């Protein structure tokens, strides 16, 4: 008897351990979620009653504060419109989203729809799991999305996903302090500024206990500085229209020299600043301008001001009341003003159960959540403009938004240059590896003051020539 | 004739499959299933995958290409730099950790059992906490601003603030300090168990001969705990070669790849760049290196070790 009990316990233990290998998903069934919104004018038509039942799996991180909750509502609405289609949501955090997605994709069990940053598209195309969505989506629906944004989710002319938003990354500032120092913030926002003007401003803003400029440069966040200021130095894209690698151009040396000058100037900290510290440094009066910044930060500053006024203990410790200004990045070398932007979107992915009929359903839902009032709601939370016509039509701007910031954001979005056509998945994945393994590590060294701009530039050129061939890299000045 | 028959009967009896044997095999099966599913299958699967350009739908056989790509020397091939970083980390962390644990164990030993337990619990505590949570605490300690905790401590001695994790001069040192100041629990408990196993008569004899404390440690304790030291050294080297969390959470491998370890490189190739074949080849090479190192340690240190 004892043996039988022991055997049973052993079996339970083994089965318990093996249970994790099963196909069970940690999903949220959305059938029961409340239906709160009504379908917009541009929404899909109702499916025929006899259509076969199908389940669509979407994996998404909290794109906005309310995104995952909204997604449940939209999935329920969609189910009402198409009773044969059920949506399962795999909720992820930003921290584990990419790893989870990559692991599932490699195992052939990718979700049908997944959130992705355009920078990572090449990896999934090379893996053979990204799907050409144009085959499964009506052409008029695809035409609803801005061509510029779609280019970010395309490789070699094939569209792999629908854009959620085009995010712009630039710099932000303590507007109150800048105005007190006599700096014409409105002019900078309207007309842009040069690197020399920027240097003068951060010099003015630097005083005891306060840096004129702070940038989150610790660890991998250093690459943000390269991309952002790179846009101002004419390095808006990794490849030129004739598909040559741009980071070997003289523009890169100019950019690196500017960064070297900034780190040695004393106008910005000469130590590693974590991503979470930069805005806090601005709010506490320890920095005047900070990066990277997005239009959305206006909401954070307003919330903090309200908390300070209410004195309810929720404000950032030692923070001061101040207005937020979203600023364009300064230009270098007489380059045209530009802004760094990326597209985050949803891609359709192949898994072991993918069929053509299923993909049509997948695209139906993907289009549904990327357009109309759904995307308008997201954009209101992110302080961004929708990148599809139905989204713009449905957008009702929240009241109280700073008109100058709004106009600057719109101007910056218009300046974002989409990647050129013809770039292959292999090129993007080689460029990503080059950036992660060679450029960013050397750039970190430059930020730490342990090398010179020229040495970093020489290393980048050598590494790029080895990766792409010298003939496929830009030499001299761009443009 | 009779004797031959008896021998045959004995052999037959030995080979007979009894009811008791069946139960034995059933219980062994539980462990074997777990071992096969979670250890053996992944190992063979990794070896198999290392010969492919892995894709979920249609992998391409590439032979030894992943191994060639890994081992081909180039200024831009991170494998060698990562290997060197891992060796430096291991060479510093493992012996110092052992020495530290041994010293702490020797210092704890004279206390009463209850006091010993308190110390053992205190040293074991960081092992229970999540590595991620610990890393966050260490990130806070290594804050590079002049207000950072370690920088304030240095300031008390007039030493300027350090760019702990963002400078090549201090990044590896920071990870080493972090490894040295956390997770000694298992080693200390193992050493204390070994120390308690030493017969008191050795110490009594040494005292009669007028041996000092350090002489007792040098000539009695150290040789008698050598099997334990060898075990901790081998497992420590294996663990250290597989180090991943510290570099991933604290530095991401930077600056200038000065803290990129083999484990992090394999992770990046698999999960960031989607190159499973290459990652598997690198993992197999790492396993071979660890096996060779372990063999070498057993040969070198195990000469006069008796179990």
Q: Which residues of B touch A11 (CB under 8 A)?
A: 30
The CATH superfamily assigned to A168-341+418-472 is Periplasmic binding protein-like II (3.40.190.10)
Distance from CA of A82 to the nearest CA of B (A): 31
Please indicate whether residue B124 or residue A112 has the higher confidence score (pLDDT). A112
pLDDT digits (tens, 9 = 90+) for A153-183: 999 889 999 999 998 999 999 999 999 999 9
Q: Say whether pLDDT at B184 is over 90.
A: no
Express as a percent the part of chain A with pLDDT over 90.
Answer: 67
Mean pLDDT over residues B113-118, rounded? Answer: 90
Return the pLDDT at B306. Answer: 57
Return the pLDDT at A171. Answer: 95
- A28-39+48-164+343-399: which CATH architecture? 3-Layer(aba) Sandwich (3.40)
Q: Say whether pLDDT at B8 is over 80.
A: no
Q: Say whether pLDDT at A117 is over 60.
A: yes
Q: Name the pLDDT band for B13 (thresholds 50, 70, 90).
A: low
- Mean pLDDT for chain A overall: 87
Please indicate whether residue A333 or residue A461 has the higher confidence score (pLDDT). A461
Mean pLDDT over residues B3-29, rounded? Answer: 75
Contact A10 B33 (CB under 8 A): no
SS3 track for B134-157 = HHHHHHHHCCCCCCCHHHHHHHHC
Q: Say whether pLDDT at A37 is over 60.
A: no
Return the pLDDT at A40. Answer: 44
Please indicate whether residue A357 or residue A31 has the higher confidence score (pLDDT). A357
Contact B27 A7 (CB under 8 A): yes
Give the SS3 label for residue A22.
coil
Q: Name the pLDDT band for B298 (thresholds 50, 70, 90).
A: confident
Distance from CA of B93 to the nearest CA of A (A): 23
Which of A32-41, A192-201, A217-226, A266-275 shows the lowest mean pLDDT across its residues?
Answer: A32-41
Distance from CA of A467 to the nearest CA of B (A): 9
Return the pLDDT at A21. Answer: 46
- Asked if B160 is an interface residue toward chain A (Cβ–Cβ < 8 A), one would say no
Which of A20-24, A257-261, B137-141, B252-256 shows the lowest mean pLDDT across its residues?
Answer: A20-24
Q: Say whether pLDDT at A329 is over 90.
A: yes
Q: Say whether pLDDT at A291 is over 70.
A: yes
Return the pLDDT at A233. Answer: 93
Q: Find out whether the peptide bond into A145 is cis, omega within 30 degrees of 0.
A: no
Distance between CA atoms of residues B182 and A306, nearest Å: 42
- Mean pLDDT for chain B overall: 89
Distance from CA of A449 to the nearest CA of B (A): 9
Return the pLDDT at A11. Answer: 58
pLDDT digits (tens, 9 = 90+) for A379-408: 988 888 899 999 999 988 777 889 999 999
pLDDT digits (tens, 9 = 90+) for B101-110: 999 999 998 8
pLDDT digits (tens, 9 = 90+) for A413-452: 889 988 888 889 889 889 999 999 999 999 999 988 899 9
Give the SS3 label for residue A47.
coil
Q: Do domains A28-39+48-164+343-399 and A168-341+418-472 have the same CATH topology?
A: yes
Q: Name the pLDDT band for A367 (thresholds 50, 70, 90).
A: very high
Which of A140-149, A259-268, B1-10 shows the lowest mean pLDDT across its residues?
Answer: B1-10
Is residue A66 a contact partner of residue A381, using CB atoms and an 8 Å limit?
yes
Is residue A416 a contact partner of residue A341, using CB atoms and an 8 Å limit?
yes
Q: Say whether pLDDT at B164 is over 50.
A: yes
Q: Name the pLDDT band for A360 (thresholds 50, 70, 90).
A: very high
Q: Say whether pLDDT at B117 is over 80.
A: yes
SS3 track for chain B = CHHHHHHHHHHHHHHCCCHHHHHHHHHHHHHHHHHHHHHHHHHHHHHHHCCEECCCCCCEECCCHHHHHHHCCCCCCHHHHHHHHHHHHHHHHHHHHHHHHHHHHHHHCCCCHHHHHHHHHHHHHHHHCCHHHHHHHHHHHCCCCCCCHHHHHHHHCCCCCCCCCCCCCCHHHHHHHHHHCCCCHHHHHHHHHHHHCCCHHHHHHHHHCCCCHHHHHHHHHHHHCHHHHHHHHHHHHHHHHCCCHHHHHHCCCCCCCCCCCHHHHHHHHHHHCCCHHHHHHHHHHHHHHHHHHHHHHHHHHCCCCCC
What are the structural domains of chain B? Answer: 2-49 (no CATH), 74-129+183-301 (1.10.3720.10)
Return the pLDDT at A16. Answer: 52
Return the pLDDT at B10. Answer: 67
Q: Where are the domains of chain A?
A: 28-39+48-164+343-399, 168-341+418-472
Q: Say whether pLDDT at A23 is over 50.
A: no
Return the pLDDT at B2. Answer: 62
Closest CA in chain B for residue A440: B256
Q: Say whether pLDDT at B41 is over 50.
A: yes
Q: Say whether pLDDT at B248 is over 80.
A: yes
Return the pLDDT at A92. Answer: 94
Q: Name the pLDDT band for B64 (thresholds 50, 70, 90).
A: very high
Q: Which residues of A touch B23 (CB under 8 A)?
A: 3, 7
- Asked if B58 is an interface residue toward chain A (Cβ–Cβ < 8 A), one would say yes
Q: Name the pLDDT band for A47 (thresholds 50, 70, 90).
A: very low
* Number of helical H runs and strand E runs in chain A: 20, 11
Return the pLDDT at A14. Answer: 52
A176 CB neighbour count, 10 Å cutoff: 18
Return the pLDDT at A6. Answer: 58
Q: Name the pLDDT band for B62 (thresholds 50, 70, 90).
A: very high
Return the pLDDT at B69. Answer: 94
**Preferred mutation among A219, A278, A432 to probe B, highest tally of B CBs within 10 A:** A219
Mean pLDDT over residues A142-149, rounded? Answer: 93
DSSP β-ladder status, A54-60 and A85-91: parallel
Is residue A164 a contact partner of residue A346, using CB atoms and an 8 Å limit?
yes
Q: Considering Cα of A287, then A293, then A298, then A301, what sign does the dihedral take?
A: negative
């Amino acid at each position: 008897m004892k043996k039988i009990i022991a055997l049973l316990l052993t079996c339970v233990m083994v089965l318990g351990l093996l249970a994790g290998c099963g196909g069970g998903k940690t999903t949220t069934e959305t059938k029961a979620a409340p239906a709160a919104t009504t379908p917009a004018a541009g929404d899909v038509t109702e499916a025929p009653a006899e259509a076969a039942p199908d389940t669509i799996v979407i994996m998404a991180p909290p794109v906005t504060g309310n995104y995952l909750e909204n997604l449940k509502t939209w999935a329920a609405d969609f189910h009402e419109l198409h009773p044969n289609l059920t949506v399962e949501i795999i909720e992820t955090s930003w921290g584990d989203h990419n790893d989870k997605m990559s692991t599932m994709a490699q195992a052939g069990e990718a979700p049908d729809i997944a959130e992705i940053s355009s920078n990572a598209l090449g990896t999934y195309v090379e893996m053979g799991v990204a799907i050409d969505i144009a085959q499964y989506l009506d052409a008029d629906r695809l035409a609803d999305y801005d061509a510029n944004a779609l280019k970010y989710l395309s490789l070699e002319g094939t569209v792999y996903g629908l854009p959620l938003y085009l995010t712009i990354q630039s710099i932000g500032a303590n507007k109150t302090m800048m105005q007190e120092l006599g700096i014409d913030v409105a002019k900078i926002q309207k007309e842009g500024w040069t690197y020399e003007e920027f240097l003068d401003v951060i010099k003015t803003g630097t005083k005891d206990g306060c840096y004129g400029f702070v940038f989150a440069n610790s660890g991998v966040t250093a690459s943000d500085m390269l991309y952002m200021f790179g846009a101002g130095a004419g390095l808006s894209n990794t490849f030129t229209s004739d598909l040559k690698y741009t980071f070997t151009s003289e523009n890169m040396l100019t950019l690196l020299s500017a960064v070297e000058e900034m780190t040695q100037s004393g106008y910005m900290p000469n130590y590693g600043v974590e991503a979470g510290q930069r805005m806090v440094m601005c709010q506490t009066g320890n920095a005047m301008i900070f990066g990277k910044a997005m239009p959305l930060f206006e909401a954070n500053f307003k919330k903090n001001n309200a908390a300070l006024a209410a004195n309810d203990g929720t404000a950032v410790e030692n923070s001061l009341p101040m207005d937020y200004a979203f600023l364009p990045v300064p230009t270098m070398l007489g380059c045209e003003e530009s802004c760094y932007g990326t597209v985050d979107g949803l891609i359709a992915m192949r898994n072991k159960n993918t069929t053509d009929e299923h993909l049509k359903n997948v695209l139906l839902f993907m289009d549904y959540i990327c357009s109309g009032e759904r995307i308008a709601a997201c954009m209101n939370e992110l302080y961004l403009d929708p990148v599809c016509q139905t989204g713009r039509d449905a957008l009702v701007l929240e009241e109280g938004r700073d008109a100058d910031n709004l106009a600057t954001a719109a101007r910056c979005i218009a300046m974002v240059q989409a990647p050129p056509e013809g770039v292959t998945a292999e090129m993007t994945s080689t460029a990503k590896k080059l950036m992660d393994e060679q450029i960013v590590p050397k750039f970190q060294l430059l930020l730490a003051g342990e090398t010179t701009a020229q040495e970093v530039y020489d290393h980048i050129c050598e590494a790029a020539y080895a990766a792409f061939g010298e003939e496929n890299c830009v030499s001299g000045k761009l443009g | 004739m009779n004797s031959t028959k008896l021998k045959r009967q004995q052999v037959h009896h030995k080979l007979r499959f009894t009811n008791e044997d069946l139960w034995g095999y059933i219980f062994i099966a539980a462990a074997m299933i777990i071992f096969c599913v979670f250890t053996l299958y992944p190992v063979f699967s990794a070896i198999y995958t290392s010969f492919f350009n892995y894709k979920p739908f249609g992998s391409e056989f590439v032979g030894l290409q992943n191994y060639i790509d890994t081992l081909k020397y180039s200024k831009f091939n991170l494998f060698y730099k990562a290997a060197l970083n891992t060796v430096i980390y291991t060479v510093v962390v493992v012996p110092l950790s052992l020495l530290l644990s041994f010293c702490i164990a020797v210092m704890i030993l004279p206390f009463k059992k209850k006091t010993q337990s308190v110390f053992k619990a205190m040293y074991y505590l960081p092992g229970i906490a999540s590595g991620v949570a610990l890393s966050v605490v260490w990130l806070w300690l290594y804050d590079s601003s002049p207000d950072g905790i370690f920088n304030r401590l240095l300031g008390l001695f007039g030493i300027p603030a350090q760019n702990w994790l963002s400078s090549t001069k201090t990044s590896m040192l920071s990870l080493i300090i972090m490894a040295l100041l956390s997770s000694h629990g298992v080693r200390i408990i193992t050493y204390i168990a070994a120390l308690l196993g030493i017969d008191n008569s050795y110490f009594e004899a040494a005292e009669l001969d007028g041996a000092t404390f350090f002489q007792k440690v040098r000539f009695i304790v150290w040789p008698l705990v050598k099997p334990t030291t060898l075990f901790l050294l081998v497992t420590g080297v294996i663990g250290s070669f597989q180090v991943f969390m510290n570099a991933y959470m604290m530095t991401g491998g930077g600056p200038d790849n000065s803290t990129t370890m083999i484990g992090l490189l394999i992770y990046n190739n698999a999960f960031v760049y989607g190159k499973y074949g290459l990652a598997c080849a690198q993992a197999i090479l790492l396993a071979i290196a660890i096996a060779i190192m372990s063999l070498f340690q057993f040969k070198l240190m195990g000469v006069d070790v008796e179990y």
